Structure 1
Amino acid sequence: MAKRTIKKELVTSRFLDETKEILVYLPPGHEALSNLPMLVLHDGPDYFNLGRIVTQATSLIEAGELKPFVMVAIPVNKERRTSEYSPAGQRQPYHIRMVIEELLPLVRERYPVSQEREDLVIGGSSLGGTVSLHLALQHPTVCSQVLSQSGAFLQQTIDEVMRQPSLSHLRVYQSIGLSETAVPTHMGTLDLVARNREMKQHLQEQGAQVIYHEEEGDHTWGFWQRELPRALRLFFGKVE
């Protein structure tokens, strides 16, 4: 197996008043590459460990199914996760500013990644998918691609989508497990199947391209891990 590399970077955020240890995955052969596309992941360390995204991405790159790309794992203090990821959270605006103004410039300065909007995907699961969509809605010149697994969409998210004059630039991968009809969260029990169906409709009404998948699964890393290759092929698959 070709060598892949994981680096650690410290992002000291003046917006969040904390230092986050960011993990950066560099694909096999990255030393000879430049302008690589990039996937930024909320709950990133969980994606690396529980989602096995590093192993899956490396295998698909080596098999020639994916273009080489960089992955950036953003950690979160679980006690502050709802505050940073939820649209009702007090820290969410500061988290988004940290990503846009502190994290992305640091990664682009130190690693061989593209500066182009079309080469950036921001994603996550549950509230991680929610905050990824909010980031893209608020910064359309920076991000136009979102990966959302079992997105925990609230009314505030729908309202923000409907305020947009057009989302024709936006591409969203949405997946949901059919058992996610009564998911306990810090915001109460949510029917995420109904909420994802509604979000898909509103995004399409605003002109977004939505790639939507429903299948058997629940609100766990087992489901998210299993369907990750499909999302990766959408964003980073080689075009024949």
Structure 2
Amino acid sequence: MTEAKMLEKKIWSTVLNEELDLLIYLPPTFSPLSKYPFFLVQDGKDYFQFGKLARFADELVESKTIQEAIFVGIPYKTVEDRRAKYHPDGAQNEAYIRFLAHELVPYIEANYPTYHMGASRFLMGDSLGASVSLKAALKYPHTFGNAILHSPLVNEELMTLAEKANPALVKIFHVIGSEETEVPTTDDNVANFLEPNLALHTILEARGFDYYFQEFEGKHRWKYWQPFVKEALQFMLDKEQFATEDMTV
């Protein structure tokens, strides 16, 4: 099997007034003559290193289980930088979401052959990275039609957005651990992640989103999230999903 390519790029964000690093995975049989769905992955380096994202994608493509896709990892610079951009109340949260929708999406679509539609664009993240992924998808559902959430921090704002969003526009993969009741946070506090996630689950299920949910036995750790990276790809990247759209997009 041909090896996938991993590219390191940089992008200047006018919205954030800074340069950001990108880790871009191109699938094994990548061709500029084909079109691909793409993922914007928060905590990008962690997903490739601890989540085994590239390995799982390669395995599932080789077994013809999923559609090939492009994965764009966005590493965070520091713990403080991550909180400022990813936390729903973070100082740069709104600007970061605008960067994703108005700068990063156009950059990827200008440089790589992709489907230009919300259903073929995916957001992925763990913890705070899941929070910003969900918020971006709910605020920009025509831009991002899919969100993968590994144990997000959930607050009232996210639940309100979920209650108001059009469930026909966003597909969601959502997991949370049964032992995530006392999670140390980056502001030196301890938070109960489980209870708000179960409340969010109730809202998403009741509103009729295309939705996968599982409460796994485990804690707020990559050890427990890793298997659900593979599960998420299988749920999101239906092998036939884009085949009928290839000639019309």
**TM exceeds 0.5?**
yes
Q: Which amino acid aligns with 2:15?
A: F
Give the Å deviation of 1:32: 5.9
**1:31 partner SS:** coil
What do the CA deviations read for 1:195-232 (whole angstroms, capped 9, x no partner)?
Answer: 11100112233332221011212111111112211110
Number of aligned residues: 239
CA distance in 2, matches of 1:116, 1:183: 36
Query: Match for residue 158 of structure 2?
Result: 157
Give the Å deviation of 1:33: 4.9
CA distance in 2, matches of 1:141, 1:212: 23
Q: Is the 8 A contact 2:85 2:91 kept in 1?
A: yes
What do the CA deviations read for 1:149-168 (whole angstroms, capped 9, x no partner)?
Answer: 01111122112223x16323
**1:218 partner SS:** coil
Task: State whether structure 2 residue 100 is matched by structure 1 residue 99.
Answer: yes
Q: Is the 8 A contact 2:142 2:169 kept in 1?
A: no
Query: Match for residue 55 of structure 1?
Result: 55
Question: Could you say what the CA RMSD is over the residues aligned between the two structures, in angstroms?
Answer: 1.7
Return 5+ residue gaps in structure 1 as ranges.
Answer: none
Query: Match for residue 234 of structure 1?
Result: 235
Query: Match for residue 39 of structure 2?
Result: 39
TM-score, reference length from structure 1: 0.94
Task: State whether structure 2 residue 87 is matched by structure 1 residue 90.
Answer: no
Query: Match for residue 76 of structure 1?
Result: 76
Query: Match for residue 24 of structure 2?
Result: 24
Q: Is the 8 A contact 2:65 2:239 kept in 1?
A: yes
TM-score, reference length from structure 2: 0.90
Give the Å deviation of 1:106: 0.8
Return 5+ residue gaps in structure 2 as ranges.
Answer: 242-249
CA distance in 2, matches of 1:121, 1:3: 23
CA distance in 2, matches of 1:112, 1:239: 18
**2:232 partner SS:** helix
Q: Is the 8 A contact 1:34 1:114 kept in 2?
A: no
Task: State whether structure 2 residue 146 is matched by structure 1 residue 145.
Answer: yes
Identity among equivalent positions (%) equals 28
Give the Å deviation of 1:90: 1.4
Query: Match for residue 244 of structure 2?
Result: none
Q: Is the 8 A contact 1:11 1:22 kept in 2?
A: yes
Q: Larger deviation: 97-106 or 187-196?
A: 187-196
CA distance in 1, matches of 2:37, 2:231: 17
Query: Match for residue 175 of structure 2?
Result: 175
Q: Which amino acid aligns with 2:237?
A: F
**2:97 partner SS:** helix
Q: Is the 8 A contact 1:200 1:210 kept in 2?
A: no
Q: Is the 8 A contact 1:165 1:206 kept in 2?
A: no
CA distance in 2, matches of 1:141, 1:230: 24
Query: Match for residue 225 of structure 1?
Result: 226
CA distance in 2, matches of 1:215, 1:51: 16
Query: Match for residue 13 of structure 2?
Result: 13
Distance 1:165 1:183, change over 3 A: closer
Moved over 6 A (4+): none
**1:134 partner SS:** helix
